[in-house]
Amino acid sequence: MKFGIVIFPSKKLQDLANSYRKRYDPHYALIPPHLTLKGPFDVSEEQIKEIAEKLHGVAKRFNPLHINVPKFSSFQPVNNVIYLKVEPTQELQDIHEAIDALQIGETSEYSFVPHITVGQKLSNDEHSDVYGSIRMQMVNHEEVVDRFHLLYQLENGSWTVYETFRFGKE
């Protein structure tokens, strides 16, 4: 089964992200807006119980953290993904590293850029149009994140939550 690890931001930020995702993200109906901590990995249903226990251990070691979302950004020229930029902080970096250190599946080849995707699989023209119109828009959103989630993917490509992990809790 394919699993992933994400933070769901507040309803307010999810609603904002969805107002763009609806038009610009083909994954709109497959998963709520999210900040990916670990991208898709394949493990068996047996193994996932052990991994979930380890993730409880990781969550326990961290406190709830502030995240700051200043504005939109883009991965261009690497790809045509537009996202809500989440200010990289030491806490986010540490959590990402703690999860990576569990050595589940393959380690990501990309450096960790915390973000919430709002548009992807756009043509170059679409990307220019959309990003051109929202890049100057300030978001300046702050919130406290107190949990993350382990998800699995169904055959239709959509994601269901397996378990929640609260920071500072066993």
Residue from the set 107, 108, 124, 158 that interacts with its own copies by CB under 8 A: 158
Output the smallest distance, CB 161 to its own copies, in A: 4
How many binding residues for its own copies (CB under 8 A)? 26
> Applying CB under 8 A, does 164 fall inside the site for its own copies?
yes
Please, which contacts does 101-109 make with residues 24 or more away whose CB atoms are closer than 8 Å?
A: 102/51, 102/54, 102/55, 102/58, 104/38, 104/41, 104/43, 104/51, 105/38, 105/41, 105/42, 105/43, 106/41, 108/38, 108/39
**Choice among 34, 96, 127, 149 that is catalytic:** 34
Output the smallest distance, CB 76 to its own copies, in A: 27
Please, which contacts does 103-110 make with residues 24 or more away whose CB atoms are closer than 8 Å?
A: 104/38, 104/41, 104/43, 104/51, 105/38, 105/41, 105/42, 105/43, 106/41, 108/38, 108/39
Instruction: Give catalytic status of residue 34 as yes or no.
Output: yes
Beta-bridge partner residues of 161: 151
Instruction: Give catalytic status of residue 127 as yes or no.
Output: no
Output the smallest distance, CB 11 to its own copies, in A: 6
> Applying CB under 8 A, does 27 fall inside the site for its own copies?
no
Q: Which two tokens stand for residue 131?
A: 């990003």
> Applying CB under 8 A, does 8 fall inside the site for its own copies?
yes
Output the smallest distance, CB 33 to its own copies, in A: 8
Nearer to its own copies, 58 or 74 (CB): 58
Residues 86 and 71: their CA atoms lie apart, in Å, by 8
**Choice among 56, 66, 115, 127 that is catalytic:** 115
| Binding residues for its own copies (CB under 8 A) | 1, 8, 11, 14-15, 18, 22, 29-30, 32, 45, 147, 149, 152, 154-156, 158-164, 166, 170
Q: Which residues are catalytic?
A: 34, 115
